[in-house]
A = this chain, B = another copy of it.
Amino acid sequence: MATYIFGHTTPDSDSIVGAISLSYLKNQLGEDTIPARQGEINPETAFILDKFDHEAPELKTEFAGEDVYLVDFSDLAQAPKDIKEANILGIVDHHKLGDITTDAPLECWIRPVGCSNTIIKQMFDYYGIEIPKKIAGMMMCAILSDTVIFKSPTCTKEDTKACKELAKIAGIEDYKALGMEMFIVKSDVLSATPRELVTRDFKDFNMNGNLIGVGQLEVVDLSVFDTMKADLMEDMKKLKEEGGRHSVLLLLTDIMKVGSQLLVVSDEPEKIENAFNIKLDSNSEAWLEGVMSRKKQIIPFLEKQF
């Protein structure tokens, strides 16, 4: 029976590429694994897959009775609904330790770095397995995406080192230019519906019984959102109701200005204000100077409030 490897719901590039790269590594080590994904490919990931001519992992959302490896998450809220009936063999992740538990011993490669693919690169090195050129290129892109081309405060020396080594294997000299190209693709938000945008990179967290959804859009210039903020806010309200959520937050991150406009819909907006020591304006927005990372600059402060 093959083992499925997949990332979180509403997969980002790290989740998709991580499933592919970890599956390749595990197969080289003699296991029989298949990369999978829990949701649609986003435009940035489509750009990466197209660039390196690789097919998308199989779409699959039910895993009862299957052996699985998880990449890029350890929270039940980001897992398949039937995860408790799956047999989790391992987790590769770079986030806080979530509420997934197992019945039996497993392997966890969890590190406080900027990207799961940095850890997978270290795993390739640990086992002495060569990384194929195309997979190296995709892993490099995942790191550039997660670290916002090394600008995110989550970026560590290990990420830049892994990224540079992967660029070399992939034969790509100007990897920062490729990163910028990727973020320009990501900035094309005009053709998408509000729902597509709010949920493009969206994660739910269970904070002491309260479901908090946090989306993020990273663009090269925030002004693209000027005409659509009201529609985004409207959709966030709907998303909050539909999911029985306590709050829905959306971070509009300006990767050049290095900061994020925060949009908030919440049962207790004062808790969000307290978390970041801010006042929301009459549109329920606030500018968070220097904030680029959901996992490092948003989630821990929310967790403390709940």
Contacts and interface: CB of A to CB of B under 8 A. Distances in A.
A107 B111 contact: yes
A230 interface: no
A98 interface: yes
Interface residues of A, number: 31
The count of identical subunits is 2
Nearest to A107: B111
A94 B295 CA distance: 26
B106 A110 contact: yes
A91 interface: yes
Interface in A158-212: none
A105 B99 contact: no
Interface stretch (A133-141, A260-268, A296-304): A296-304
Contacts of A154: 105
A96 interface: yes
Nearest to A98: B101
Contact of A107 (B110, B126, B299): B110
A127 to B, nearest CB: 12
Interface string A106-121: 1111111100000000
B96 A102 contact: yes
A106 B97 CA distance: 7
B109 A105 contact: no
Contacts of A107: 110-112
A88 interface: yes
B304 A104 contact: no
Task: List the 3 closest pairs (A to B, CB-CB), nearest first.
Answer: A108-B110, A105-B112, A103-B303
Given A96-B106, A99-B99, 15 more contacts: A74-B97, A88-B97, A91-B97, A96-B105, A97-B106, A103-B300, A105-B111, A105-B112, A105-B295, A106-B110, A106-B112, A108-B108, A108-B109, A108-B110, A108-B111
